[in-house]
Amino acid sequence: MSQPRITALEPGFATGHWHDLFIGVWRGTPTLEAVAEWSRQYDHMAARHPIGFLSIVVIEAHTPIPDGATRKALTAVMDRLGSNVRAMAAVQEASGFVGATVRSVLLLLTNMSTGPYPRRIFGSCQDAARWLALHKNGQAAPMSAEQVVAAVASFRALLKVDNDRARPGMQIAS
């Protein structure tokens, strides 16, 4: 399997892709600047994949809930993506009270969005991958749930290696 590529790496988040799968990981406080960079990375994916792309976003367990302005900006980005996204899955890794709170905020964001694509929230990458695999496009790269899980795991392993290099505004590839 080919390796995913990191496209943006900052202390609070990372984005990348594997074929027509956008991979994002929130691991720090979501900010307006971070949302602007995610939007830019989504635009790159839309330009590279005119028939649409899939998106999986992992929210690590310790990631704080975004403030109101950042939540609005995230919703605006989700709306703007329109038909560029075939499906979007969010995986939140927190459990207990924190997990329930994060799920509530994610549900609010997805319900506020008017984007026409399907989106769901999951508690595990495996569940999200199974659901995303149902939304692959016959013209796009073949993608199984197992490949999605492996791509996300490889991406996160790359982040561990590159974490010491992360600094604000760092773009690695496009």
Q: Give the single-character DSSP code of 16.
A: E
Q: Among residues 20, 24, 19, which one has the least CA distance to residue 9?
A: 24
Note the pTM of the prediction, 2 decimals: 0.85
Instruction: Give 134's DSSP letter.
Output: T
List, in sequence order, the alpha helices (H) in 12-169: 32-48, 68-81, 96-112, 125-133, 145-162
pLDDT in tens, 85-118: 999 998 988 677 766 776 676 666 665 556 667 8
Looking at residue 27, its pLDDT comes to 93
User: 113: part of which helix (H) or strand (E)?
Assistant: none
What are the tens digits of pLDDT across the range 20-69?
A: 999 999 999 999 999 999 999 999 999 999 989 999 999 998 888 889 89
User: What pLDDT, on a 0 to 100 scale, did the predictor assign at position 66?
Assistant: 86
Band the pLDDT of 174: cuts 50, 70, 90: very low
Report the pLDDT value the prediction gives residue 2, as an integer from 0 to 100: 87
What is the per-residue pLDDT for 116?
A: 66
Q: Quick one: DSSP state of residue 73?
A: H
Q: What is the pLDDT of residues 119-161, one digit of tens each?
A: 888 989 999 999 998 887 665 566 889 999 999 999 999 998 7
pLDDT over 70 (residue 15): yes
Q: Is the pLDDT of residue 81 over 60?
A: yes
How far is 13 from 24, CA to CA, in rounded Å?
Answer: 7
CB neighbour list of residue 4: distance below 8 Å, 6 or more residues apart: 16, 17, 18, 21, 23, 151, 152, 154, 155, 158
Pick the CATH number of 5-165 from 3.30.750.24, 3.30.470.20, 3.30.460.10, 3.30.1490.440: 3.30.750.24
